[in-house]
Structure 1
Amino acid sequence: MAIIGKIREKSTLVLIIIGGAIVAFVLTDLFSAAGTGQGQGPLFLAQVGEETISPEEYDQQLQTAYENYEARTEQPLDARTKSQLKETVWNQMLAQIIISKEREDLGVSVTSKELFNMVQGPNPHPQVRQLFSNPQTGEFSSAAVVQFLQNLDQQEPETKKQWLAFEKALKSNQETNKYNTLIKKGLYLPSALAKHQYTDENTQLNFKYVGKLYSSIPDSTIEVSESELKEYYNEHKDEYQQESSRRVFYAYLPVAPSAEDIMAVNQEANEVYQKFKTASNDSIFVNANSDGPFDPVYHSADDIPMGIDSTFWAQDSGSIKAPYKIENAYFIQKIRDVKQAPDSVKASHILIGGQERTLEEAEALADSLLEVIQNGEATIADLVDFSDDVTSAQNGGELDWFTEGVMVKPFSDAAFSMEVGELRKVRSQFGFHIIRVTDRTELKRKAQIATVQIIIDPSKDTYEKVFNQANSFSIDANDEESFNNLINEGNIQRRVVVLSENMTTVEGNEASRDLVRWAREANEGDISEAYDIGDAFAVGFLESVNEEGPSPLDKVRNRVEYMVRIEKKAAMLKEQMAGGSDLNTLASNLGVEVQDASGVSLSNPAIPGLGLEPKVVGKASSLEANQMSVPIQGDNGVYVVYMESKNVPGEPDIAMTRSTEERGMSTQIDNGAVFNALKEETEIEDNRARFF
């Protein structure tokens, strides 16, 4: 069973595998409308080159990714993780289409023999080696692989499905590796380029300079005309490219429990408290009356649950604690049971599973083995060949130390109630276990605490009150000015979100889909109705719509005006610094001092005291010793440089330089550089925002 669990953990390799989840209900209306001619837009989620991705395909893989994550982490998905998984699945699907086409064109494939060797060969894939290695010794067992595959048809359908998905992912992963290797083998850095690169990176420049910063000229002295702005903007449009986006302000009205709501839950908690006092079955009572499930774990003094002090924990069975409030919930706790038990147990076992035999046959075999052990004719270690737990069988049936609740419940309950040396047969969902406790920590007091949790939720009246407030806001706001006035008058939170083309929700809020859908269809200046976004109501104001391409001049006016002033200041400073014959005279005329810069290089174009000035360092590198430059326009000011000396390195080690560069490029390939390059060249129509 440990191997099956590990297979489930390898979710990163099976993200590209199509799952079997049903398409989310939110797609149904859209498909129905489209089918009857009422819908708008394409029926495919994306078009990648000549291939399309359907909403069903994307949703199936997305649900598989969600399931794999939850199985691996045993944690519920939060909004941020869901968003990350959506992008991961999207890129996996793009890669599957784009890279697969390239592999097919080049004839890159993985044969059945190669796949066999990756799983069962003398040098299996690292993921396979990890799955079938003894966790205690780290030793890989090829026999365990063979045994697992021989019994694959007898495994649970879900387990078989997981393994086949794992194999498919291994094959795809290996095809990608071969494709990347093919590209890496084509990398070559010519000797002349290697020498030039080595020289540029390792030549050290030592120079003096005089400079004046743009900030030395007040902005107020520089006039900028509209024609100058337009001229600069038209010449530099490429520097103001933007992606398609929508900027939305929204009034955020949270729905929080009122004082009346808290009082009502307090009263409910006290009523439950009175009933809990006399409850005959505490676990059933908790499951029937609590917002959280019954916790069967016995707690020692070292792990007392939050909110319980050691005085209450030390009380007798049946003791109950009156309701108390922590954050947004009331808690009532009762000592259900007290026992002396260890913190950890060490045991050995044999598992007789029911996958290759009937339960009657499994129990009969378990009884026979138990009798043999009880009669002293053999030990568990002698009989591990019968065990279906391959991992522990490799260690003579021995399990490492484990705490209560780590094993399946029947196994755990038995192990923690047994004496050292005791032998017992126990049935679990995996079959029949023959268990012997071989060691345990010292016994200590442990208490099982039944907890009723009653969450303080906003009442229906509170929801209606906040909705009416939000609805009134939506009606009264008719433009940006009134929208902002209402926010200020009502002391309401104003939030902002910039929605990129494929965002389907406000980040961190899965319930905000309706607000985002409205923003997609709205015009600039529109105000939305009140939308329920989970724990609040929101009213949106669409401030701006930004189309893909160069930003309009009005939206980048401040940036353009700043750059035009810089250009004008640079021209003024160049004129002041032109014609100088030596640095000292120039410095005197400008009222500044000559500065020194040593050890500067193209690979690190930082000038001491100035910071990064790549344009200046680039121009300086072209000077010979004892040569002075013309005024150079830099990022922070204008400079004149006098080159004192250049420390040029000797002949480079071409092989080492080439190897270093090729390793760097290989790393980029392994990190997805090829996929990203092909993605840029592929025509992709992405309609995810219309469906999800």
Structure 2
Amino acid sequence: MSIIQTIREKGAVIVISLVAISLIGFILMDSMSSTGKLFGGGNETTIGIVNGESIDYQDFNDKVTQMEQQYGNQSSQRNSVMQGAWDQMVAEKIVNDQFEKLGLVFTAKELSTILFSEDAPAQLKQSFTDPNTGQYDIEQAKLWWTQVKQNKNKEQRNALVSQVIDPMVLNSLYSKYTSMIAASVNQPTWLKNMEKEAATNYAVMNYVAVPYSSVNDSTIKISSQDVKNYINSHKSMFKQEPGMMLSYVSFSAAPSKEDSAEVFNALEKIKPEFELDSNAKFFLGRNGSTIPFFDGYLPATQIQVPNIASITALPKGGVYGPYLDAKNYVIAKLIDQKTMADSFKVRHILFGTINPQTQQPIMDDSTAKRKADSVATAIKNGASFDALEPVYSTDEGAKQTNGVMNFDLKTVQSDNFAKEFGKFLLNENGETKKVVKTEFGYHYIEIMSKSHFEPCYKIAYMAREIDPSDATINHANSEAVKLSAAGTNEKAFEDYIVKNGLSKVDLPMPVGENDYQMGSYSNAREAIRWANGAKEGAVSEPFSIDNDFVVVKVDKRLREGLMDVETAAPLIDGILRNQKKAEVITKKISNPASLDAVAQTFGVQVLTDGEDSSLTFNAQIINGIGNEPKVTGAAFDKGLDGKVSAPIAGNTGVFLIQVTSTGKKAVAEDLWKQQEQATQSRETQSALQQSFMGLRKMAKIKDYRSKFY
């Protein structure tokens, strides 16, 4: 991409390599310090302990700050950033133990080898790329590293190391560790042969499917003992972290009809003034429009607003609306209309005065202008653009296409596009060649073609967001306060809800001490922090979450360990219900059974599957049935030998099958080799996941974040 389109915000440095991120993800499948800073650090407050090693509160905060900068300080992402910082720091602690046990180290020689080679971190290569050669300037990188080590400002030094060096060290150690695991993965010949058989042998079968839905739910009773037995048989599935079962009642503070009408009427009132005003940009600013003025033209097909056909049909200066657009009421004014090109093919030679990545000067202004003018004159006198562009242009991106670039109208007019460059492309006086100065330097530009001409429109949108009024907010808050005050005990809380026709949400899943989400609310951390310190049966004061006031009740506190019957019951009700339905259906089937008899008994049809050779042993889905691994397994049970199977309790119903024929699909040897390679890759990936998940399972982790956030 050309330097012309370089975004003016240079962006935060991305410091975590993809490999490191993926491995961290393997360890922390259920969300549950650093590799050791090269220049020290201390612990003051402990926010967590991993295998006896503390995670310091300040270190954690620094990591959060670093990741927030990486994501552009978006407040909407803070919760996920904090979780990501925790996940990463815990993962590093866990895997560092393995590095030490295996004697894996990162030496000073490795540091120099990586830093001063083509394997250097991307941000270094970007910062120290010679604009004239496009190559990584190793001498400049060495000078930078010397300055870092000599920097007496500890805070700056540690920041640079944590952003550049620490991730590189971590990634190198990860690579060594994962290489050892990958080297241990072996797929023996017998397993390869078995995989081939599973992929090529197929069966054709007739079957009957009796869905569980054919048994009325009201006839099935699930007892506490049923739940208890299931828990005891699947203990690993029912281990729980400390948490709570919560319920809540919400009172909407979203804008009312009256609030909406007030905004509508306000726009109606200023509509005549908008129509007469000659300075749309000033008018929008003065009246607080939520949609800024775009001083450009677009074809109607690229204007994604409601009622665009009505707006473009206006005479110049005409105003349409108010109309609803998302959360805004809008009045739109057609400023101007003209036919314009939507596609521009240009080429340029840039004589850059500044490197957009490093902000370092390339050449002084007068030198750049002199060179640009000389090249323009030479081309005018017959010199070849293609010959001069690779010699003089400092735009490394455009060099890949000999300086040729393609833009659409929207891009040319955007804030991220060099203003002077865009102005020349949009000129209407027929000028096609010119030297233009921009913030990047001097450009010799040639407009090669303009195409896709169509009517384009400049439109101003005066928009007002429909916000709740103070009266609306106060009413919702008042109703929430009444419930909170009435809920002095569980019975009073429930009685008030029933009496006033309120709706209570009982969360089906436990809420963890460090969670941020509560039901449909993704940013309910304040309410969850309150619940962490509340007793069972406690009712909160109203919390303002999104556009609601929410009153929360702690229904039950959950201790670490095995789930109790009451908590687990709603989670496995469907499983237990289907098991009992399977028993009901099976009892109605005579043994031995014929498919026709079973079909007649339950009013279903005898169906056929596998005639297209798709029913293989490794098939994940059976056509017309879905994911039913027990049925797939039975289709390749040699003991059946054409007989009708016993009833099979599957995921969606009870099945009986009868295999009518088998066969073998032909697979090209080269295709099979590709499948073998894919299997090997899959097995390696699985080994990595399993090893890291095992480390996570064995790790002793104490999480105290809920005391701080």
- Normalising by the residue count of structure 2, what TM-score does the alignment of the two structures yield? 0.68
Describe the SS at the equivalent of 1:263: helix
TM-fit CA distance, 1:15? 8.1
Instruction: Name 2:686's counterpart in structure 1.
Output: 668
Which residue identity lines up with residue 691 of structure 1 in the other structure? F
The whole-number CA distance in structure 1 between the counterparts of 2:678 and 2:18 is 33
Per-residue CA distance 1:451-474 (angstroms, 9 max, x = gap)? 111111111122111111111111
Change beyond 3 A, Cα 1:222–1:282: closer
* Structure 1 unaligned spans of 5+: 19-41, 71-75, 133-140, 208-212, 585-591, 626-630, 640-645, 648-654
TM-fit CA distance, 1:233? 7.3
TM-fit CA distance, 1:97? 2.8
Change beyond 3 A, Cα 1:224–1:365: closer
On the 8 A contact 1:205/1:601 being kept in 2, the answer is yes
The whole-number CA distance in structure 2 between the counterparts of 1:519 and 1:44 is 22
The whole-number CA distance in structure 2 between the counterparts of 1:538 and 1:87 is 24
Between stretches 268-277 and 255-264, larger displacement belongs to 268-277
On the 8 A contact 2:249/2:502 being kept in 1, the answer is yes
Describe the SS at the equivalent of 1:272: helix
Change beyond 3 A, Cα 1:91–1:635: same
The whole-number CA distance in structure 2 between the counterparts of 1:235 and 1:304 is 60
The whole-number CA distance in structure 2 between the counterparts of 1:148 and 1:373 is 34
On the 8 A contact 1:352/1:386 being kept in 2, the answer is no
Residue 543 of structure 2 corresponds to residue 521 of structure 1: no
Per-residue CA distance 1:334-390 (angstroms, 9 max, x = gap)? 233444432122222214223587799325522442254146355654155443321
Q: 1:361 aligns with which of 364, 368, 371?
A: 364
Residue 67 of structure 2 corresponds to residue 48 of structure 1: no
Residue 685 of structure 2 corresponds to residue 677 of structure 1: no
**Larger radius of gyration between Structure 1 and Structure 2:** 1
Instruction: Name 1:477's counterpart in structure 2.
Output: 487
Which residue identity lines up with residue 426 of structure 2 in the other structure? F
The whole-number CA distance in structure 2 between the counterparts of 1:426 and 1:195 is 68
Instruction: Name 1:106's counterpart in structure 2.
Output: 103
The whole-number CA distance in structure 2 between the counterparts of 1:226 and 1:508 is 29
On the 8 A contact 1:243/1:500 being kept in 2, the answer is yes
Taking the TM superposition and a 5 Å limit, the aligned residue runs for 1:333-344 are: 333-344=332-343
On the 8 A contact 1:606/1:614 being kept in 2, the answer is no
Instruction: Name 1:501's counterpart in structure 2.
Output: 513
On the 8 A contact 1:316/1:335 being kept in 2, the answer is yes
Residue 545 of structure 2 corresponds to residue 545 of structure 1: no
The whole-number CA distance in structure 2 between the counterparts of 1:262 and 1:221 is 50
Which residue identity lines up with residue 106 of structure 1 in the other structure? G
Per-residue CA distance 1:314-349 (angstroms, 9 max, x = gap)? 555433335334453221222334444321222222
Describe the SS at the equivalent of 2:364: helix
Between stretches 51-60 and 281-290, larger displacement belongs to 51-60
The whole-number CA distance in structure 1 between the counterparts of 2:162 and 2:492 is 60
Per-residue CA distance 1:575-617 (angstroms, 9 max, x = gap)? xx9xxxx979xxxxxxx9xx9x999999899999999697998
Per-residue CA distance 1:478-521 (angstroms, 9 max, x = gap)? 33444344334444343344412320343664542221111111
Change beyond 3 A, Cα 1:188–1:635: same
Describe the SS at the equivalent of 1:175: helix
The whole-number CA distance in structure 2 between the counterparts of 1:148 and 1:417 is 44
TM-fit CA distance, 1:538? 0.4
Change beyond 3 A, Cα 1:379–1:61: farther
TM-fit CA distance, 1:149? 8.2
Instruction: Name 1:272's counterpart in structure 2.
Output: 270
The whole-number CA distance in structure 2 between the counterparts of 1:602 and 1:7 is 53
Per-residue CA distance 1:159-182 (angstroms, 9 max, x = gap)? xx9999577645643432332111
Change beyond 3 A, Cα 1:193–1:358: closer
The whole-number CA distance in structure 2 between the counterparts of 1:148 and 1:335 is 56
Instruction: Name 1:348's counterpart in structure 2.
Output: 347
Residue 395 of structure 2 corresponds to residue 395 of structure 1: no
The whole-number CA distance in structure 1 between the counterparts of 2:420 and 2:80 is 38
The whole-number CA distance in structure 1 between the counterparts of 2:221 and 2:334 is 80
On the 8 A contact 1:344/1:441 being kept in 2, the answer is yes
The whole-number CA distance in structure 2 between the counterparts of 1:565 and 1:373 is 80
Describe the SS at the equivalent of 1:470: helix
TM-fit CA distance, 1:565? 14
The whole-number CA distance in structure 1 between the counterparts of 2:352 and 2:537 is 70
The whole-number CA distance in structure 2 between the counterparts of 1:221 and 1:445 is 68
Instruction: Name 2:457's counterpart in structure 1.
Output: 447
On the 8 A contact 2:343/2:408 being kept in 1, the answer is yes
On the 8 A contact 1:421/1:436 being kept in 2, the answer is no
Per-residue CA distance 1:185-239 (angstroms, 9 max, x = gap)? 23346789999999999999999xxxxx999999999999999998997787666
The whole-number CA distance in structure 1 between the counterparts of 2:219 and 2:52 is 57
Change beyond 3 A, Cα 1:149–1:544: farther
Residue 134 of structure 2 corresponds to residue 144 of structure 1: yes
Instruction: Name 2:279's counterpart in structure 1.
Output: 281
Describe the SS at the equivalent of 1:347: strand
The whole-number CA distance in structure 2 between the counterparts of 1:190 and 1:315 is 74
Change beyond 3 A, Cα 1:44–1:615: farther
TM-fit CA distance, 1:674? 2.8
Per-residue CA distance 1:408-458 (angstroms, 9 max, x = gap)? 333323322266653344444434434332221255443321211111111
How large is the RMSD of aligned CA atoms in angstroms? 6.0
On the 8 A contact 1:205/1:621 being kept in 2, the answer is no
The whole-number CA distance in structure 1 between the counterparts of 2:385 and 2:578 is 86
On the 8 A contact 1:224/1:561 being kept in 2, the answer is no
Taking the TM superposition and a 5 Å limit, the aligned residue runs for 1:221-370 are: 240-288=238-286, 289-310=288-309, 312-313=311-312, 315=314, 317-349=316-348, 350-355=350-355, 361-370=364-373
Which residue identity lines up with residue 390 of structure 1 in the other structure? E
Taking the TM superposition and a 5 Å limit, the aligned residue runs for 1:611-626 are: none
On the 8 A contact 1:346/1:438 being kept in 2, the answer is yes
Percent identity, please.
20
The whole-number CA distance in structure 2 between the counterparts of 1:215 and 1:265 is 51
Instruction: Name 1:92's counterpart in structure 2.
Output: 88
- Normalising by the residue count of structure 1, what TM-score does the alignment of the two structures yield? 0.69
Residue-pair matches, total = 630
On the 8 A contact 2:17/2:171 being kept in 1, the answer is no
The whole-number CA distance in structure 2 between the counterparts of 1:560 and 1:190 is 42
TM-fit CA distance, 1:541? 1.3
Q: 1:437 aligns with which of 425, 429, 447?
A: 447
TM-fit CA distance, 1:11? 4.5
The whole-number CA distance in structure 2 between the counterparts of 1:528 and 1:534 is 17
TM-fit CA distance, 1:686? 2.0
Which residue identity lines up with residue 690 of structure 1 in the other structure? K
Instruction: Name 1:184's counterpart in structure 2.
Output: 182
Change beyond 3 A, Cα 1:118–1:463: same
Change beyond 3 A, Cα 1:524–1:530: same
The whole-number CA distance in structure 2 between the counterparts of 1:475 and 1:508 is 24
The whole-number CA distance in structure 1 between the counterparts of 2:621 and 2:462 is 64
Describe the SS at the equivalent of 1:246: strand
Instruction: Name 1:405's counterpart in structure 2.
Output: 413
Instruction: Name 1:688's counterpart in structure 2.
Output: 705
The whole-number CA distance in structure 1 between the counterparts of 2:220 and 2:360 is 91
TM-fit CA distance, 1:536? 0.7
Describe the SS at the equivalent of 2:402: coil
On the 8 A contact 2:104/2:173 being kept in 1, the answer is no
